[in-house]
Every structure is written in structure tokens, then in C-alpha cells.
Structure 1
């Protein structure tokens, strides 16, 4: 749960930098009946508001972007991570332990146009109660991934832990987590499956150190290297089909606002390419990443923004839930 916004001012900026923002008060304890359908509205956004025709940054081609909202629930916010399957099924987790499942809608040109067939569910604790009811320390879910057998794995900050939800439903169980000291609210932000290790394996990335650990549901975690943060924070990662990996980094300052960096590496960890998004481009607190192989070659990257529910001490911040898409081809 990070509290960085692109249009905050004055005292709010100072509070953001201090990490003092809190969850908005008096939210309903459940968004909709568990697993019920919600309609998601999508407003298109250009990559560059100054030049809407601009659609390329180096080897990355803008493939559409939208601001997503819903009039049915106050809980379609705070989306901290996402994964997308090859057939366009989206899975995202929010800062308040809500799980969003939806289908990505493309236009006739294959560009991102919106979401359909969406369902929003409240994640449970080991006793079967809504995690939201336990308060901010308990519900701060940050990373999400579904393993090959359907097990849903979710990482949490503040009360640092990993929960594994069985594919057939029911309460979760505690899953292995790195045996290391976590910085409060800057822990297991990045999460990805690790099929190269085992079907039940997953990798965890620590936000403030870049340390990577590989874990299994059936075994303890082990160190798996470190990524160079280059002055940023690691907020998400996903796998590439050729064995490489993609990392998403975020930094914030009052002068520059949010600066988002996407780094693509090969299976040996060597950097192949990178993308930087900052003002005046369309940007917000982007901290979720999904990498989807394209039928004709290359990768489509989806990035989602955690809008922190758009409030600070009951006042609106102007943050938005952006969902952006970029197509990438390896440089020759």
C-alpha cells in the first residue's frame, strides 16, 4: 500500500513522502455480494495528453489505456497487482483484500478498450472471515498470482505473510515466506509464479531492497538474487515466455511526481530494454504488471495503478485507476 499521487499539493506531498497516508474512513465492509458481477466503466486515455497521436517510446508501442471505475461499488480501488493470461483473463488484488477477475476487451485494432465479465470478491483469512474486517494491518494485499494447479497465492505487507487459497475454494493456509527482516509497509510487493523451479513455486521481490526469493508451497524460501533498484522501489514482476523477466519500479518526488520504470531482462538477468513513464505522459501510482506473449511475437505489458482509493484524510487526491498497455518487440 503506497501513497504516491500525481496531483497532490503542499502539505499532502510532504505527507506522501513520509508515508503517512491512511485508508479512507467508513468504507462498506463488503463491496457487493461475494463473487457478484460488477459493471466496469472505461474511459480511454492517450499516452501523451499534449500529443494524443504519439504512440511510441523506443521499442514500446502504446496499445491503449483506460481509467476504470464502477458505479456499483466503493471498493474498485487500490489495485496493487495484476496478472493476465494469454486468453485475456485479468486477475488483480487490491490494498483492501478484494480480488478482481475480469476479461480484457480489445477494439478492432487489438488495442485495450476496457474490461467485461468482472467479478469482485473479498479475500478471507484462515478462519473464513473477511480480511477487511481485521483492519489495515491485516488486509494490505500487494502481490497476486495463480499457480498452474489453480492455487491463488497472495502476499501481504504490514502483517507480512503469504496466503495460499485452494483452487476449489475455502479458507487459505499460510505459505512459505522469506526468512528475512521486512521494512514496515515496504515488504513483499512483487510476486510471480516460478514454473522454471516447480509447479508450486513462486518468486517474491522485496520493495525497498530488490532482494528476490524463490519459494515453494512444499518447501522453504531461498535467496534468488537481487535486482538493481537504481534509486527506485520494486513494485511488481512477471515472467516472459522465453525465460526472461520483467520488473516494474516506482519512485516519487514532489517535483517530478511518479516516475515508473519497466525493465525487461533475459534469463541471465541482462537488461534487454527499458521503458520510463513520467509527467507529462499519462501516469499515476502504477504498481501492477502483467506480461502476455503476443501471437505474432513480442510481449504485451499491462500496467495498473493503485489509486489509494483517491482520498487522503477524507479529501480527494485526484488519483485514478489507470490500466495501460504497451507492446514490445526485442531490439535487433
Structure 2
């Protein structure tokens, strides 16, 4: 399988200049008119390969569509307390018309999606936000308490959110299939006790519910740390450790469960010399057991000069023609030189 390797110097400079240019273009774009109680987003379509837009194959995946997302001025004007960016994980609505994302600055974001008859993404017209709340219903304000990095949805409709710095898992009520913004206070969830010992900024970065109600969660791990990464599998009161093979400086950022019981894994990479990189891999159901060493099968890896940023969000849904649509979204770190990208790929399946 061909891998796109890091390209130094010129590609990194091009990435910075392209990001600044896109921000300028989006600043003058005309947003789609929003529905009631929603605010518009500006979007700009992007190819997989800016230098060769006709290229759509990436490892075992096919590129379907992608957009740069930026709030329209009215979004900032009507919701001044909800700063855009920092999106850390996401889940799709069952009908594919919306996604719910959690931001590492203490906010929920719900984005509406438009898709054609084949399920291909055609736009992201609107967004709305609500604060993440604590155990008594007060908004999370301080970074130490609001750094949400992972999420999944349980079979009973509840949302689980993994936080780092103050390492913990909280649950939030949710019953509707339309992924409405969660309301109400959080409830403590019985996470593995060992997560309290994780490094401050390297907590539970990836989480997914498996068949039978088990959960798989992976810690991001420290940059350049030797050896395998850490994780846990199980349920409250019955957790088992797992390890995951790490290589080439990549670290886990998200998991998405498949109908087969397996999962997809998103990993990221970054150095100042080479810029960002991303990987999508597959873990079969049979490998997901307590005390196992997880060895992901690589599906795709990409670096500059391809369209890439700090990808932290992952979602998967069956495609009408067979196989799966995979969505990834990036955390811009609220940095003007980074972008919020939402990309869609097609995978034929294992």
C-alpha cells in the first residue's frame, strides 16, 4: 500500500500560506440562510490533493468530499459565548443529516449536513452550540475542567464524554435520534481508576461502545513515548487493560464502532518540520479482548501537501452502495493558521 510520506520545508510553508488564504476567502463567502435557532457556517470545498484535484484514491479509501468550515459573522454575533473551534470528537445522527461534536473548550456543537441521494456530503449550512455542564448543571468554564477530548453514545441514548487534565468520564442525557444538543447536568461514570494517573494533557482521547455494552477507550499517550499505548476495555467495575501498537510518531485521537463489532481508529502526527499527518486503521472484533495487544491494520495515511490538519474526530456510517462512509474532522486549536476540515471517504470494508 502506498503511503504519502512527510514533505519538509516547502510543503509546510505552503500549508501555512494556504490556510491563511482560505481564511481570507471564507471571510468574504456568502453563508447559507439558517433555520430558526441556528446560525450559518461558511464553507469552502477542498480536494484531497490541492496540486492534483483529480486524485481521489488514498490507500484503501476513496475521497468523496471535503469542506473547510468557518463561522459566519452572525454566528459570532448571536452566540458570543460559544467560540468556534477546538472540535475533539463527533457522532453522526442515524439519518446522516447532522453531527454532534464536543469541543475541548467546554462546548457541544451540532452541525447540520446536506447530502445527495448517494449520501455524499454537499454542505454544512448551519451550527448551534450549548455549554458542557458539570454535575450540578453549571457550565464548565475553566480549561482544567472543560477539556473534553472523546465521546461516544451508549445504546440507551446517553452520551459519554472523556475529559483530560482532570481525567474522568461523565455521561449526559440524550434520547432522541436527531442528536439534539444535550441538556442538563452530567453524571459520573465508572471509568477505570488508572486514568487518574495519566499525564495531564494525555488522557482518554478515543472511545467507542462495542456490542454487548463494552467500551473501548485509548489514551493519547505522551509524544515520543517509547513502547505501546495504553487503553482499557470493559464496563464500570469490570475493566481490563489493553495496549496498542504505536509507530512513526502517530497517537490515537478517535474510535468509531462498526456493525461487525470491529472499530476504526484515527491517529494523528505532528512535527514542526513536517507539519500534520493522519492515519485511519481497522481493528477487527476478534482482536478486542482484555489484556490484548491491539495491532491496527492501516487503511490510509496522509501528510502534506495533501489536505490534512489536526484530525481528532471520526464517524462512520453504512453507504447506500455498500461499504462505509468515513468522516473525519479536525481540531483547529483556535489557531488562525489551522483549519476546521470535515472530510468524507468511502471504504469498501474488511
**Cα displacement (A) at 1:108:** 5.9
Q: Distance in 1 between matches of 2:240 and 2:37?
A: 39
Residues 36 and 121 in structure 1, CA contact (< 8 A), matched pair in contact too? no
Q: Which residue of 1 aligns with 2:315?
A: 290
- Once structures 1 and 2 are overlaid, which stretch shifts more, 94-103 or 279-288? 94-103
Q: Which residue of 1 aligns with 2:50?
A: 49
Q: Which residue of 2 aligns with 1:188?
A: 204
**Cα displacement (A) at 1:261:** 0.9
Q: Which residue of 2 aligns with 1:101?
A: 110
State how many pairs are aligned: 289
After TM superposition, list the pairs within 5 Å mapping 1:7-156 onto structure 2: 36-71=37-72, 72-73=75-76, 75-88=83-96, 89-107=98-116, 110-116=119-125, 118-132=127-141, 135-156=142-163
**Cα displacement (A) at 1:255:** 2.2
Q: Distance in 2 between matches of 1:215 and 1:242?
A: 18
Residues 204 and 214 in structure 1, CA contact (< 8 A), matched pair in contact too? yes
Query: Which structure dedicates a bigger proportion of its chain to strand?
Result: 1
Q: Distance in 1 between matches of 2:251 and 2:148?
A: 17
The DSSP-based 3-state class of the residue aligned with 1:268 is helix
User: Is residue 323 of structure 1 aligned with residue 337 of structure 2?
Assistant: no
Q: Which residue of 1 aligns with 2:286?
A: 268
Query: Which structure dedicates a bigger proportion of its chain to helix?
Result: 2
**Cα displacement (A) at 1:211:** 2.3
**Cα displacement (A) at 1:175:** 0.7
Taking a change above 3 Å as real, the CA distance of residues 87 and 188 of structure 1, as seen in their structure-2 partners, is: same
After TM superposition, list the pairs within 5 Å mapping 1:172-187 onto structure 2: 172-180=186-194, 181-187=197-203
User: Is residue 237 of structure 1 aligned with residue 258 of structure 2?
Assistant: no
- Once structures 1 and 2 are overlaid, which stretch shifts more, 80-89 or 103-112? 103-112
Q: Which residue of 1 aligns with 2:270?
A: 252
Q: Which residue of 2 aligns with 1:14?
A: none
- Once structures 1 and 2 are overlaid, which stretch shifts more, 62-71 or 267-276? 267-276
**Cα displacement (A) at 1:240:** 1.1
Q: Distance in 1 between matches of 2:243 and 2:152?
A: 20
User: Could you report, residue by residue, the CA deviation over 1:123-167 in whole angstroms, capped at 9, with x for unpaired residues?
Assistant: 1111211102xx111110011122222211111011111111123
Residues 233 and 240 in structure 2, CA contact (< 8 A), matched pair in contact too? yes
Taking a change above 3 Å as real, the CA distance of residues 83 and 285 of structure 1, as seen in their structure-2 partners, is: same
Residues 210 and 226 in structure 1, CA contact (< 8 A), matched pair in contact too? yes
Q: Which residue of 2 aligns with 1:29?
A: none
List runs of 5+ in structure 1 lacking aligned partners: 1-5, 10-34, 311-315
**Cα displacement (A) at 1:229:** 1.7
Taking a change above 3 Å as real, the CA distance of residues 118 and 69 of structure 1, as seen in their structure-2 partners, is: same
List runs of 5+ in structure 2 lacking aligned partners: 1-10, 15-35, 77-81, 176-182, 222-227, 288-294
Q: Distance in 2 between matches of 1:197 and 1:108?
A: 33
Taking a change above 3 Å as real, the CA distance of residues 243 and 166 of structure 1, as seen in their structure-2 partners, is: same
User: Is residue 220 of structure 1 aligned with residue 233 of structure 2?
Assistant: no
Q: Distance in 2 between matches of 1:49 and 1:121?
A: 35
The DSSP-based 3-state class of the residue aligned with 2:49 is coil
Instruction: After the TM superposition, list the runs of 4 or more consecutive aligned residues in structure 1 that deviate by more than 4 angstroms.
Output: 6-9, 270-273
Over the aligned positions, Cα root-mean-square deviation in angstroms equals 2.4
Q: 1:207 aligns with which of 212, 217, 220?
A: 220
Q: Distance in 2 between matches of 1:283 and 1:43?
A: 15
**Cα displacement (A) at 1:37:** 2.0
**Cα displacement (A) at 1:274:** 1.6
Taking a change above 3 Å as real, the CA distance of residues 223 and 36 of structure 1, as seen in their structure-2 partners, is: farther
Q: Distance in 2 between matches of 1:80 and 1:167?
A: 19
Q: Which residue of 2 aligns with 1:302?
A: 327
